[in-house]
């Protein structure tokens, strides 16, 4: 499930950055600040694991995929927040 | 629940203005996971869960990152916090729903479960806003350890009751988290934020009573670790 997890992680890292970029518009921040808001939101963690835990009983691929996904973004998130802004 | 660097009113106006961002968040981040689940040929329920996995940011990691990069007071952080708080609120609707669907409950059980959750959330937010000061006087203590024990005890007690009445203990524990974080966080924000993550993480294994022991074991070393290395 690793390639799928990385691909999904890459896509949803971008969508989170767009989310933050859009959500920060109302604080009238400049583009860099809006970008910072986006990268700050990329990390997924404990709650995603919790949600995946609900479904491990009937969806055997959900556990492995979510584990790899969360591990990837829990690491990538803080790195992006620090260096990509 | 995050966003407690701000007063209730600030948070409220923040949330109202951040609502659109919360909607964008839901669409942009739930859909990729949901679609991926369908593409992988999973059940609809599996896809809904994967959507939840990709939707919710880790408030624990985000808070830590913002603190370490010294951005807690930056203007854009308000928007980040409003997104996180709205995600938490969305979970109050999402979790009871998937909780019932997973065990194969019908429409009646969904309605009951959702109503209970929404009423509890409403009551909790109302009480926290209205009587926050009184509540925190009740639970607060100068010692962080005693606050931790009070919170842990409350979570265990309420989860036990919830389990008894066939409501998901996990959801109950989550709601307690929302309730106590408001008033308590005013006085113990730093310490509370730290163990909030572990409480939340473990609240979902409450249906298995053996894991309570695990929670105690895991909660305390972390707490002690924090005492030794304050932020």
Whole-number pLDDT of residue B203: 39
Q: How confident is the model at residue B173 (pLDDT cuts 50, 70, 90)?
A: low
B123 interfacial to chain A (CB closer than 8 Å): no
How many Cβ contacts (< 8 angstroms) between chains A and B?
180
Q: Report pLDDT digits (tens) over B197-226.
A: 444 433 333 333 333 333 333 333 333 323
Q: What is the mean predicted confidence (pLDDT) over B118-130?
A: 70
Q: Report pLDDT digits (tens) over A60-72.
A: 999 999 999 999 9
Assess contact for B78 and A27: CB atoms under 8 A. yes
B28 interfacial to chain A (CB closer than 8 Å): yes
Higher pLDDT pick, B140 / B20: B20
- How many whole angstroms separate alpha carbon B108 and alpha carbon B164? 19
| ipTM reported for the complex, 2 dp | 0.94
Higher pLDDT pick, B113 / B162: B113
State the best of A21, A23, A65, A70 to mutate against chain B, taking most chain B CBs within 10 Å.
A23
Q: Which residues of A touch B84 (CB under 8 A)?
A: 41
Query: Is B25 close to A19, i.e. CB distance below 8 A?
Result: yes
pLDDT at B195 over 80: no
B3 interfacial to chain A (CB closer than 8 Å): no
B42 interfacial to chain A (CB closer than 8 Å): yes
Whole-number pLDDT of residue B123: 74
pTM of the model: 0.71
Q: Which residues of A touch B17 (CB under 8 A)?
A: 26
Token reading at A49: 């694991």
Q: What percent of chain B has pLDDT over 70?
A: 54
Helix/strand/coil for B208: coil
- How many whole angstroms separate alpha carbon B206 and alpha carbon B212? 7
Q: Report pLDDT digits (tens) over B12-54.
A: 676 777 888 899 999 999 999 999 999 999 999 999 999 999 9
Question: Which DSSP string do the residues of B93-121 spell out, in sequence order?
Answer: HHHHHHHHHHTT--HHHHHHHHHHHHHHH
């Amino acid at each position: 499930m690793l390639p799928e997890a990385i691909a999904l992680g890459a896509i949803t890292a971008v969508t989170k950055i767009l989310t933050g970029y859009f959500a920060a518009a109302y604080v009238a921040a400049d583009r860099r600040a809006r970008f910072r808001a986006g990268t700050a939101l990329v990390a997924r963690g404990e709650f995603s694991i919790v949600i995946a835990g609900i479904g491990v009983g009937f969806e055997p691929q959900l556990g492995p995929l979510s584990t790899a996904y969360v591990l990837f973004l829990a690491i990538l998130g803080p790195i992006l927040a620090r260096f990509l802004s | 629940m995050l966003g407690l660097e701000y007063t209730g009113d600030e948070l409220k106006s923040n949330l109202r203005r951040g609502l659109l961002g919360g909607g964008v968040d839901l669409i942009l981040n739930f859909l990729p996971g949901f679609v991926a689940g369908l593409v992988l040929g999973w059940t609809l329920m599996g896809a809904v869960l994967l959507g939840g996995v990709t939707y919710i940011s880790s408030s624990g990691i985000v808070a830590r990152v913002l603190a370490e990069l010294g951005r807690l007071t930056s203007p854009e952080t308000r928007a980040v916090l409003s997104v996180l708080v709205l995600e938490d609120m969305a979970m109050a609707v999402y979790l009871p729903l998937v909780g019932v669907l997973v065990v194969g409950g019908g429409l009646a059980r969904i309605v009951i479960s959702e109503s209970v959750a929404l009423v509890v959330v409403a009551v909790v937010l109302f009480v926290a806003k209205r009587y926050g000061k009184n509540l925190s006087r009740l639970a607060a203590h100068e010692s962080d350890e005693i606050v931790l024990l009070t919170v842990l005890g409350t979570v265990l007690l309420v989860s036990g009751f919830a389990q008894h009445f066939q409501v998901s203990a996990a959801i109950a524990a989550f709601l307690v988290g929302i309730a106590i974080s408001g008033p308590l966080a005013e006085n113990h924000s730093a310490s509370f934020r730290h163990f909030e993550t572990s409480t939340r993480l473990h609240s979902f294994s409450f249906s298995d009573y053996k894991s309570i022991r695990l929670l105690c074991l895991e909660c305390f070393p972390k707490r002690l670790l924090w005492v030794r290395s304050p932020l």
